[in-house]
Amino acid sequence: MLIDTHTHVNFKAFKDDADDVVKRALDSGVWIVNAGTKFETSRSAVELAENYSDGVYAAVALHPIHLFEHRVDLDEEEASFHTDGEEFEVGSFRDLVARSTKVVAIGEFGLDYYRLPKEHDHDAIKQKQKDVMIKHIELAKEIDKPLMIHCRPAEGSMDAYQDVLKILDENYRSPNFEIHCFTGDAPTAMEFVKRGGLVALNGIITFDKTGRSDKVVKNLPLESTIFETDAPFLTPLPHRGKRNEPSYVRFVAEKLAQMKGIDISKVEEVTTANARRLFRI
C-alpha cells in the first residue's frame, strides 16, 4: 500500500475521467489526498472524497499564486492560465472542513517566490503571502488539522524555504506538517526534519539531472519521508510527457528504494505509516 499525499484529481485535467483515475489508484493499492488551491477546487476535493467510503481524502486551502490577479505560466507543461485573485475567507474554509470528516489537512498554502506577478510590487506580494500563510496556520491550529505547505523559492535561491522555516518557528511549534513538493537542498530538508515535519517527494526524483535530489534522498531519513504525485503535473519516468495520476506514485517509491538501496516493501511500510500518522487515516 502507498499513499499519494498530494494530488489534484479535483482539477479540470480529470473532468472527464476522475472516477476512473481514482479507481485505478485504489485498485493498485494507492490511497489519495486531493489538495485544493482555491475555494472552488477545495470544495471539489471534498465532494470527490465524499463519493468514496475509504481511501480518498481532501485538503483545503488557498494557494499563494491565487492571491493576486495575474497570468500563471506552468513551465513544465508549457501551459498557462489566468487567475482572478482570491481573498482567503477563513470562515468559508472553516465551514468547508466542518462539512466533512474526509478533510485531513489544511493545504496547499504557503509561499511562492518563483512566479511573482510582474505588474505588482514583489515585497508587497511576499508580505501578503506570509500574512495569509499565518492565517492558514491559525485555522489549522483551531480545528486541529496538520499543515500541507507549498513552498517554491526564487530560481537559484532557498529564500522562500528560509521564510517558511521562520514562520513555523514563530507561529507553529508542532511537528504536524509536511513540506509539499520539496525541491530544495539537503541541508534545508534537514531543517524541516529537525522540526519534526515530513518531506514530500514526487516524480522529480525520477528525472532530476541536477544531482540535488540524489543528495536529498541520501540524507533524508525514511521516517521523515512521504510520497506524492502532484498530478496532473510532474509525471515520473517512465511516463514523462503524459498526464500524471495517483497510481504513478509507485514509480516514485521504486526510485527512492533504488536510490537508497533498500527493499521496496520497507519503503512502502514506513512512508505509508508516516502519512497515516500525519493525516490520521
Is 108 labelled as part of a ligand binding site? yes
Q: Quick one: how many helices (H) and strands (E) in the chain?
A: 10, 10
Is 230 labelled as part of a ligand binding site? yes
Q: Which of 73, 105, 116, 110 is nearest to 88 (CA)?
A: 110
Contact 254, 264 (CB under 8 A): yes
DSSP string covering 3-16, please?
EEEEE-TTSGGGTT
Q: What is the dihedral of CA 107, 225, 115, 239, to 10 degrees?
A: -110
| DSSP SS3 for 83 | strand
Contact 30, 40 (CB under 8 A): no
Contact 235, 243 (CB under 8 A): yes
Is 120 labelled as part of a ligand binding site? no
DSSP state of 200: E
> Would residue 122 be called left, alpha or beta, if left means φ above 0 and alpha means ψ between -120 and 50 degrees?
alpha
Sign of the dihedral defined by the CA atoms of residues 119, 122, 124, 130, in that order: positive
d(CA 50, CA 200): 25
Is 138 labelled as part of a ligand binding site? no
Is 8 labelled as part of a ligand binding site? yes
d(CA 248, CA 195): 29
Angle at 170 between CA 98 and CA 281, to 5 degrees: 35
Annotated binding site: 6, 8, 108, 150, 180, 230
Annotated binding site for a divalent metal cation: 6, 8, 108, 150, 180, 230
